[in-house]
Amino acid sequence: MPDDRVLADLAHWNTPTIYNGWEAMTSAERTSLRCNREPVVDYLPEAGSIVGYAVTLVIEPTNPRWPRELPDAPEAYRAYVAAGPGPKVVVVQDLDRVTLGSFWGEVNSNVHRALGCVGAITDGAIRDLDEVRAMGFKHLARRLCVGHAYAHPVRWGVPVEVFGVEVRPGDLIHADQHGFLVIPEEDVAGLAEATAFLDGAERETVIGVAAGHRGTPEEALPKLGDARRRFKEMVARRFGGRGEP
């Protein structure tokens, strides 16, 4: 597993920039990346990016049978979360088609932070927005809601599907206001370095030329074309032509 320094380096960048680095370095097809396929809202965008290992949970707030049938589930679920390596991101699949209740609010956000979690992703809802924002706990969710209904642990430590993508326990997740992505295990080691290189190359070439241009649009075209060629050459030399961001 990557050490804390590697995770901190990844958290320095926003999620699209991490994608750029991955796209350049990976041998995988770029459309194979596991990232949200549906809109998701970041309710603490000013906190920047989070990086952590997925712990997973399934809930069904409209179903009153779960607290009766699984009375010990909350304690068992919390023990599962506590046992995982940190930092952790909780990924919650809500089985309800219409969101009636939220697992996330002031209480559970504080509990999960104490268990080593830095944020949560749920295709359901969150509540107590002012309180969870004040504590700095990151939430990516579909919407807000008022109550919690029967937001009770149903299954945990299993693959879940949220926002059109499967997330498995232990997957490394990078998330911010743009959405989230699951970083392939084989690409973790060199990803921060690749991301820094791509960002620097863009600023040295296309971004630098475009930002500094003071002439006419017609005069900008050849400069931008030359900058683009230099960028592609830098990427090809560094990554062997595998990626063309």
Return the CATH superfamily for domain 39-183: Ribonuclease E inhibitor RraA/RraA-like (3.50.30.40)
Query: Which of 2-11, 15-24, 118-127, 226-235 has the lowest average pLDDT?
Result: 2-11
Residues in contact with 43: Cβ distance below 8 Å, sequence separation at least 6, in sequence order:
126, 129, 132, 133, 139, 140, 141, 144
The verdict on whether omega for the bond into residue 169 sits within 30 degrees of 0, i.e. cis, is no
| Mean pLDDT rounded to a whole number for the chain | 95
**d(C-alpha 139, C-alpha 156), whole Å:** 19
How far does CA 169 lie from the centroid of its chain? 14
pLDDT above 70 (res 233) = yes
Measured CA to CA in angstroms, residue 75 lies from 31, 83, 117, 156, 228 at distances of 39, 13, 16, 12, 56
Of the candidates 57, 59, 73, 58, which has an alpha carbon nearest to the alpha carbon of residue 151? 59
pLDDT digits (tens, 9 = 90+) for 45-71: 999 999 999 999 999 999 999 999 999
Of the candidates 68, 64, 50, 134, which has an alpha carbon nearest to the alpha carbon of residue 101? 64
Neighbours of 66 (CB within 10 A): 17
pLDDT at 243: 47
- Output the pTM of the full model: 0.93
pLDDT at 244: 52
pLDDT digits (tens, 9 = 90+) for 57-106: 999 999 999 999 999 999 999 999 999 999 999 999 999 988 899 999 99
pLDDT digits (tens, 9 = 90+) for 191-205: 999 999 999 999 999
Name the residue ranges covered by the structural domains of the chain.
Answer: 14-33+184-245, 39-183
